[in-house]
Amino acid sequence: MKKVTHSKTQQSSLEDKEWLYEINSEKGLLDFNFKEIWRYRDLLMLFVKRDIVTVYKQTILGPLWYLIQPLFTSVIFTLIFNNVANVSTGVVPSFLFNLAGITAWNYFKECLNGTSGTFTKNQNIFGKVYFPRVIMPMSITVSNLLKFFIQLSIFVGFYIYYVAQGANVSPNASLILFPVYILMMALSGLGLGMVISAFTTKYRDLTKLLTFAVQLLMYLSAVPFPMQKVRDDLPEYYWAFKYNPIAQIIEGFRYMTLDTGLFSWLGFAYALSFSVLVFLVGLVIFNRTEKNFIDTV
């Protein structure tokens, strides 16, 4: 007999033991076949490679484009928020402050935007071949992680430059939480993206909403200004920022790298549990959708 060991079937009467798998209409809440996903790990890496390699083919600047976008956005933010509107970023140079926020925000945003189109953008290939669909959003999250590290390097570069110039900035002890913050950004972006991708298979309304919702969320996540500023100047609306887990993540990221801003362990725990929860919910909904979406997409 061939490799007939694994069985993800629900009923396991003696006779069913030897079946490799079953195709039926039952939808389990979370019947992920992790062994199968593991078997497709090479596909995940190839998708990542494809995303990275093909984006800037036939461009002259190539991967430099990864750096241009956050740099220019930071310059604009610095000009408008700090120079025109006079938002104070304390001892931290405003440009560095903005670059930190944008680097963190970009990763979340790219994960969200990338994964939210999973079903609609890949309907051609999903309609022809089976592979664990969750590979697709996972690969987007991983390839965005690489982009994130490239953008992080430019942030580190400017960090060193400002320190050399005598700016009074330094990371603090919570920097050891860095991997956790990356995980939180990835999970919340991926989770939300999967929920949206599932709903857009039938109803395209969410795609229309997404573009400007992301724009609004950036301001609500205190990317171009410190949360301190909101608490002082706009106390009656402070709750909207305080209870926004993304704002907590952005603020926390700035806190650990620049030692500035409002950080609380409660806020950290809140953001962490939010991202894990939204990821799990995203997985469940994604899993329910992947089996039949091709009929309604």
Partner 1 sequence: MNTILTARNISKQYRLGLVGTGTLSHDLNRFLHRIRGKEDPYLKIGAENDRASKAKEDYVWALRDINFDVKEGEVLGIIGKNGAGKSTLLKILSRVTMPTTGSIKTKGRIASLLEVGTGFHPELTGRENIYLNGAILGMTKSEIQEKEEEIIDFSGCAMYIDTPVKRYSSGMRVRLAFAVAAHLEPDILVVDEVLAVGDAEFQKKAIGKMKDISGTGGRTVLFVSHNMAAVKSLCTRGVVLENGTSVFEGSAEESVDYYLKMGNKKGAEYLRYFTPDECESFNFRLYSFGVKAANKEFGSTILRSDKIEFHIEFDNYYQEKLLFGLRFKDEKGEIIFVTTDSEFISFKKTKTKLKLEIPNFFFNQGVFFVDIQANDGRNLLMRFSDVLNFSVVQETVKEGYWQGKTPGPLKPNFKWI
* Residue 24 binds to partner 1 (criterion: CB under 8 A): yes
Q: Which of 50, 75, 176, 234 binds partner 1 (CB under 8 A)?
A: 50
* Residue 14 binds to partner 1 (criterion: CB under 8 A): no
Give the integer Cα–Cα distance in Å for 224 and 235.
18
* The residue to which tokens 């990338």 are assigned: 114
**In the complex, what is the shortest distance from the CB of residue 45 to partner 1, in angstroms, rounded to a whole number?**
8
User: Could you tell me how many residues of this chain bind partner 1 (CB under 8 A)?
Assistant: 40
Q: In the window 276-295, what residues touch partner 1 (CB under 8 A)?
A: 291-292, 294-295
Q: Which of 28, 62, 63, 127 binds partner 1 (CB under 8 A)?
A: 127
Residue 225 structure tokens? 């200004």
Q: Which of 12, 21, 65, 157 binds partner 1 (CB under 8 A)?
A: 21
**Residue among 62 and 157 whose Cβ is closer to partner 1:** 62
**Residue among 4 and 64 whose Cβ is closer to partner 1:** 4
**Residue among 45 and 240 whose Cβ is closer to partner 1:** 45
* Residue 131 binds to partner 1 (criterion: CB under 8 A): yes
**Which one, of 15, 32, 1, lies nearest residue 284 by Cα?**
32
Give the integer Cα–Cα distance in Å for 105 and 152.
12
**In the complex, what is the shortest distance from the CB of residue 5 to partner 1, in angstroms, rounded to a whole number?**
11
The DSSP 8-state label assigned to residue 84 in this structure reads: I
Give the integer Cα–Cα distance in Å for 262 and 248.
9
**Which one, of 291, 245, 293, lies nearest residue 269 by Cα?**
245
Please give the torsion angle defined by the CA atoms of residues 187, 81, 219 and 151, in that order, rounded to the nearest 10 degrees.
-20
Give the binding range for partner 1 (CB under 8 A) out of 11-19, 73-81, 93-101, 231-239: 11-19
- Do 286 and 134 contact (CB within 8 A), yes or no? yes
* Residue 13 binds to partner 1 (criterion: CB under 8 A): no
* The residue to which tokens 């205190």 are assigned: 222
**Residue among 42 and 236 whose Cβ is closer to partner 1:** 42
**In the complex, what is the shortest distance from the CB of residue 50 to partner 1, in angstroms, rounded to a whole number?**
6
Distance, CA of 56 to chain centre: 21
